[in-house]
């Protein structure tokens, strides 16, 4: 029966069916194989219970807050501030792209949103300044995965909810890895700027310009600091912080900047509902597959297979990373996380890895797979927005992929780097 479910799953994937439907159908086929019509009740039960977690409410709120902040013109203000800070270097606009990704990450928590926002704004600006379009798209793709690494992160909400791990602790643990990705990518741009013939910076450093752009973007910069600070201080839960973020973003857009009307709000609500609906369908359907896998003791079989291959924690960790990136190249990362987290976390526990450390490692590996062909979501978003071919973007992207994989390995094998901030706050 396991073979039947696997064939059904991959056949539907090859036919191009959306992953939410693929998971649901494969799960129902598996349940029918266990107990016929009687087990169909379990499918409906798991579909609804898979979403019956209070912490999942944070996701639509964070998505809506990001939509509002983006519509308010915050993206442009953040780019201007980033350019004032580093725009005078060679490849300055590429450096600004990375730095803006760090600041924008504290508002959306989704790589695809960041890729779409900067694909519409920064990529055309970079092309106009003399950068090749594939390189501009590659830099944007590399920076986009900072979004779901630095809190708030939808993947962290899903992982924490499913595995019973502190979401606040995961948020704290994601700060250093996210900043490390940005710093290493910026260092790469600086080191190879001349070799890649990147345009030299046009303006000299200006404290006045930095002050002006900082003042115009202060409200946007304050938002992630306020959200994360209130969570780490224990004032609000992540779900409550997400609701506060929506109110904060709405207040800025309607009262301070006065650039959002009722029609805009309605459009953003509809878009948020669509995005949330897709994610929640995947979660609900994946919970059916997850229950079927647990019933058939597939997680234990996979764990035994890993441990049977090697008892060395380093080898097992590397195998987990390769498995996540490999599967993430072909599947939606939300589905991969929901299906594989219950399989891999007991394995990471067996080799003595902290659950928060394991969560950040898993999430970062899946984030990197967003940039890898053939099904890298960020690649296709940028290709759609800019009109550039995926193959050309991928060719320009490989140096960033290599250095981000090096960061992933560093995070995986140096737990203190990830756990420094969570331990400081008592997680």
Write the pLDDT tens digit of every residue in 84-96.
888 778 888 888 8
Determine contact, residues 284/329, Cβ cutoff 8 Å: no
Residues 137 and 15 in one domain: no
Q: Within its chain, how far is the Cα of 48 from the centroid? A: 25
In 15-110, alpha helices (H): 19-35, 40-49, 58-71, 74-86, 92-108
The CA angle 9-14-19, to the nearest 5 degrees, is 55
The pTM score is 0.83
Cβ atoms < 10 Å from Cβ of 8? 17
- Residues of the chain with pLDDT > 90: what percent? 14
Residues 21 and 94 in one domain: no
Q: How many structural domains does the chain have?
A: 2
Residues 33 and 174 in one domain: no
Residues 261 and 305 in one domain: yes
Determine contact, residues 100/122, Cβ cutoff 8 Å: yes
pLDDT band of 109, cuts 50, 70, 90: low
pLDDT band of 181, cuts 50, 70, 90: very high
Which residues form the domain of 39? Answer: 1-49
Token output for 104: 């924008």
pLDDT band of 180, cuts 50, 70, 90: very high
For range 333-350, the mean pLDDT: 85
Rounded distance, CA 348 to CA 300, Å?
13
Residues 31 and 129 in one domain: no
Cβ atoms < 10 Å from Cβ of 406? 11
Residues 14 and 101 in one domain: no
pLDDT band of 386, cuts 50, 70, 90: confident
Q: Of 49, 71, 87, which marks where a domain is finished? A: 49
Taking only the tens place, the pLDDT of each residue in 35-93 is 776 677 777 888 887 777 777 787 788 878 877 877 777 777 777 888 888 877 888 88
Contacts of 418 (CB under 8 A, 6+ apart): 173, 176, 177, 356, 357, 360, 361, 411
The CA angle 379-383-384, to the nearest 5 degrees, is 120
Tell whether the model's pLDDT for residue 16 goes beyond 80.
no
Within 13 Å and on the Cβ side, how many CA atoms surround 146?
Answer: 31
Residues 169 and 20 in one domain: no
Residues 39 and 97 in one domain: no
Rounded distance, CA 412 to CA 285, Å?
30
Determine contact, residues 374/113, Cβ cutoff 8 Å: no
- Residues of the chain with pLDDT > 70: what percent? 97
Q: How far is CA 236 from CA 51, 68, 179, 360, in A?
A: 22, 21, 24, 22
Residues 274 and 297 in one domain: yes
Cβ atoms < 10 Å from Cβ of 217? 23
Within 13 Å and on the Cβ side, how many CA atoms surround 384?
Answer: 10
Residues 12 and 149 in one domain: no
Rounded distance, CA 347 to CA 331, Å?
22
Rounded distance, CA 407 to CA 137, Å?
21
Token output for 217: 């973007």
Residues 135 and 266 in one domain: yes
pLDDT band of 335, cuts 50, 70, 90: confident
- Nearest C-alpha neighbor of 359 from the set 176, 102, 171, 142: 171
pLDDT band of 176, cuts 50, 70, 90: very high
* Mean of all residue pLDDT scores within the chain: 83
Q: Which residue has the tokens 């501009």?
A: 136
Tell whether the model's pLDDT for residue 370 goes beyond 80.
yes
- Cis peptide bond N-terminal to 86, omega within 30: no
Model pLDDT, residue 144: 86
Tell whether the model's pLDDT for residue 108 goes beyond 70.
no
Residues 7 and 101 in one domain: no
Rounded distance, CA 366 to CA 305, Å?
22
Model pLDDT, residue 235: 83
Model pLDDT, residue 59: 78
């Amino acid at each position: 029966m396991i073979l039947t479910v696997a064939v059904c799953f991959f056949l539907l994937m090859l036919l191009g069916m959306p992953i939410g439907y693929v998971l649901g159908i494969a799960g129902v086929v598996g349940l029918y194989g266990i107990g016929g019509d009687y087990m169909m009740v379990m499918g409906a039960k798991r579909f609804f219970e898979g979403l019956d977690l209070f912490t999942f409410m944070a996701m639509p709120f964070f998505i809506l807050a990001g939509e509002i902040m983006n519509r308010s013109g915050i993206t442009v203000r953040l780019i201007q501030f980033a350019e004032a800070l580093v725009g005078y270097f060679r490849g300055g606009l590429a450096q600004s792209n990375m730095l803006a990704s760090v600041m924008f990450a504290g508002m959306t928590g989704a790589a695809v949103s960041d890729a779409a926002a900067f694909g519409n704004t920064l990529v055309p600006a970079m092309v106009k300044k003399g950068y090749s379009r594939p390189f501009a798209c590659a830099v944007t793709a590399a920076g986009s995965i900072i979004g779901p690494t630095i809190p708030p992160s939808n993947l962290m909400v899903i992982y924490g909810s499913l595995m019973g791990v502190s979401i606040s602790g995961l948020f704290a643990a994601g700060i250093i890895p996210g900043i490390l990705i940005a710093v290493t990518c910026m260092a790469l741009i600086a080191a190879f700027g001349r070799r890649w013939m990147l345009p030299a910076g046009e303006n000299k450093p200006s404290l006045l310009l930095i002050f002006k752009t900082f003042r115009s973007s202060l409200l946007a910069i304050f938002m992630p600091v306020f959200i994360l600070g209130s969570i780490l201080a224990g004032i609000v839960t992540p779900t409550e912080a997400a609701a506060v973020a929506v109110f904060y973003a709405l207040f800025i857009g309607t009262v301070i900047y006065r650039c959002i009307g009722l029609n805009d709000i309605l459009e953003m609500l509809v878009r948020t509902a669509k995005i949330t609906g897709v994610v929640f369908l995947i979660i609900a359907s994946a919970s059916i597959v997850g229950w079927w896998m647990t019933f058939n003791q597939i997680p234990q079989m996979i764990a035994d297979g890993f441990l049977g291959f090697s008892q060395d924690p380093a080898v097992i960790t590397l195998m987990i990373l390769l498995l996540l990136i490999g599967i993430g190249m072909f599947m939606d990362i939300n589905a991969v996380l929901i299906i594989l987290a219950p399989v891999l976390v007991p394995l990471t526990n067996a080799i003595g890895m902290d659950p928060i450390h394991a969560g950040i490692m898993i999430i970062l590996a899946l984030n990197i797979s967003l940039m890898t062909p053939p099904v890298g979501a960020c690649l296709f978003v940028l290709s759609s927005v800019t009109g550039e071919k995926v193959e050309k973007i991928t060719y320009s992207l490989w140096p960033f992929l290599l250095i981000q994989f090096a960061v992933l390995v560093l995070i995986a094998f140096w737990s203190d780097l990830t756990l420094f901030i969570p331990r400081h706050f008592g997680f």
